[in-house]
Amino acid sequence: MPILFSTPIEALISYSSLKEVISSDQGFDFLEWTINHRDVGIFGKERDELVSETARQFGVDEDCVHIMGSARYGFSPTPKLLNGEIIKLPGRPFSEESDVDITIISTQLFDTIWQDVYDRFPYFRKYSFRDFSQFSEFLYRGWMRADQIPFRHPWYRRWREKSVAISDYAIGSKLEVSVALFRNDYFMKRKLEGTKHTMMSGY
């Protein structure tokens, strides 16, 4: 089944509709909406293969894997930043130039990587205070990405190789895959609340 690319008009309508729902309902649960939202950007067989291959590569259950961002909603819910400056507004449609954002929620995998990094770099702070600060900030917020792991650690390379393998298998390298790992639903929900706040900040 081919990948469906939303048109700019469809993306903006969907984005505006979501903003309207958020602003009119104080009890809106972004996490529940995200998990239950119908996939628009990638769907059908490709969506199933993407989830299945991600679960296989990272050794987690498929229920732990969630497609996010424009690949799920059909539009990007947040602006694109470069050096802290907004270079693209939210509401951008999913397209051939989009990344495929995937989130894994797994306490076991998160703690395994965290402990392994600590075991290998108990004095990580001495090697690179800047890298240590970035990694620590992500840990504080309950999630991590490959680019925040010390580059000499095996998971730095392994994570990237897995992301490429997922793209090769599920979508034929047509799009770049980016994988984020959250320790549990709580931290995922807090991250989405930040997205929700960004959406309501005037964009």
Residue 151: predicted pLDDT? 73
Give residue 120's region: left, alpha or beta (phi > 0; psi -120 to 50): alpha
Instruction: Flag residues of the chain having pLDDT under 50.
Output: 1-2
Residues above pLDDT 90, as percent of the chain: 32
Residue 39: predicted pLDDT? 60
Residue 200: predicted pLDDT? 64
Q: pTM to 2 decimals?
A: 0.81
Q: Which residue has the tokens 């907004």?
A: 86
Tell me which long-range contacts 64-68 makes (C-beta under 8 A, separation of at least 24).
64/104, 64/105, 64/106, 65/102, 65/103, 65/104, 66/34, 66/35, 66/102, 66/103, 66/104, 66/105, 67/39, 67/41, 67/42, 67/100, 67/101, 67/102, 67/103, 68/34, 68/101, 68/102, 68/103, 68/180
> What tens digit of pLDDT does each residue of 2-30 get?
455 566 666 667 777 777 777 766 666 76
Domain spans in the chain, listed from the N-terminal domain onward: 8-199
Residue 1: predicted pLDDT? 41
Distances (CA, A) of 98 to 7, 143, 192: 13, 22, 20
